[in-house]
Every structure is written in structure tokens, then in C-alpha cells.
Amino acid sequence: MSEGSEPPKDAQKEAEESAEPTIEEIVALLTNIPGVGPKTAEKLGAAGFDTLEKVVEADKEELAAAVAGLSVAKAEATIAEAADLHEKVKSGAIDLGSKWKSKRKKAPEPEPDKHQLEPLKAVARAEERRRLVTGYDEEKAAMGIPIGPKWLTRFEKARIIGARALQISMGAPVLIDPKTAPKGRFGFAEAELRAGVLPMTVRRTLPTGESHDIALSLLLENTRLD
């Protein structure tokens, strides 16, 4: 054979047939057998049953013993299905060559979308957020209440009564006449709150961590305690 001449077609065919198939090719071939999935096909190939002919010629007990998880009955059914498929391939009713190639073919990846961005200098600066100030906010600010409602909330009321009752239990001086006040520390503390004689402040805190101390007397001016 002269240099540069192509090798005979028979030699090319023999070279292609002599090349050992990959595990992906074996799985693609054996999954054509009805009832054989990718995992079973991979086990069959690993056990040496990597062609239809080898599966057809195998003994059912030998096949079941070689492939983990394959029962004798399942092995017998697999051999029968492989024999039927092999006959169809030999008769030309089924062409596994094209079917095999179609399974190995990967779909082309789609091209990513491309968008033309505006130059950095052309991007307009976002408008600065401005805090919406209502008339109610202006009224509270004028009163000296920058956070929360202008009245005492029920949670603040409960906290003040509890703190004052603790002070009374520890011997703090009382600020109203004990003779006319209700019995019990909590009732006495609430009576002092209603009388507006407690020299306390209420601390209110924003989620940002900013806090303000507001005079209790200022909040009581706008709070109904009845």
C-alpha cells in the first residue's frame, strides 16, 4: 500500500469492531432490552454480558448470580427478551445502530441571552428616598414624642405597673395616700399611675437601634386610663 492511500474498508471495519465499547455505549445498547434499565444494564456490562449475544447465550442461574439484585426468574425473562430483540435485529426489523447513536447524541446547549447595557455614565442616579412626614408626625414631634403613638400603650402600662409594684415591695416611698388607695401592690401602683405622680420615663426603640426616653407625664396627657 502506497503512502497517502486510504486503508481498505474491511480493515477500517475490523478496527471499529475491535475497539472496546465504553460503559455508556454498553448501557445504551442493553437498555434496548425490554425490562432492563440503566442500572441493570451497567451491572450486566460489568459482569461481562456486554452484548446481546452474550446475554442470549447466558445461563439464567449464571446471569442471576453474576448480577446483584437479579432473580433467576428475572434473569430468564431478560434472556428471553434479549433473544427476541436479537432476532429482530438480525432480520432487519430493528436497527439498533441508529437508535444507539440517537441516545448518545447530546442536545446542543442554548446560546445565552445577550443584552446591550447602557454606558455607566448614561445610567440615571436613583432618586433619594424621602421620609413621608404627615401632620400627625409633626404634631408628635412638637410635643416631644418622636417615636410611637402619642399615648401610653397597654404594654407600656403593664410594664410600668410591674416595675412600680416591685419598687413598692422593696420599700420605696409611696406617692399617694395609702388610706384611700386600693389594696395590693399592683392595685396601688396602678392608682399612682392614674394619679400621674410617677416620675418615670418610657424608653421607645426603633428597629434601627435608635431610642428615645419620653416623659410618662407627657404620654398620660393623651391616654385614657379608665
Q: How do the pLDDT tens digits run along the chain, 226 residues long?
A: 445 455 555 555 554 555 576 777 777 777 888 888 888 888 887 888 888 788 888 888 888 887 887 888 888 888 888 888 878 887 777 777 655 444 444 556 667 777 777 676 655 666 666 777 788 888 888 888 999 999 999 999 999 999 999 999 999 999 999 888 898 999 999 999 999 999 999 999 999 999 999 999 999 998 988 7
pLDDT of residue 126: 61
- Do residues 218 and 144 touch, judged by C-beta distance below 8 A? yes
Distance CA 196, CA 94 (A): 98
Tell me the residue type at 130: R
pTM greater than 0.85? no
202: which strand partners? 214
Q: Please give the grid coordinates belonging to residue 188.
A: 396601688
pLDDT of residue 2: 47
pLDDT of residue 9: 54
- Do residues 214 and 149 touch, judged by C-beta distance below 8 A? no
Cα 92–chain centre separation: 51
Instruction: Give backbone dihedrals phi and psi of 214, rounded to 5 degrees, phi first.
Output: -115, 135
- Give the number of C-alpha atoms closer than 13 A to the C-alpha of residue 197, restricted to the C-beta side: 11
For 72-147, strand residue ranges (E) read: none
Residue 140, helix vs strand vs coil: helix
Q: Please give the grid coordinates belonging to residue 59.
A: 445461563
pLDDT of residue 197: 93
214: which strand partners? 202
Domains of the chain listed by start with CATH number: 20-104 (1.10.150.20), 140-220 (3.90.940.10)
The CA-CA-CA angle for residues 118, 120, 125, to 5°, reads 100
Q: Please name the helix (run of DSSP H) or strand (run of DSSP E) that holds residue 204, with its range, or none.
A: strand 201-205
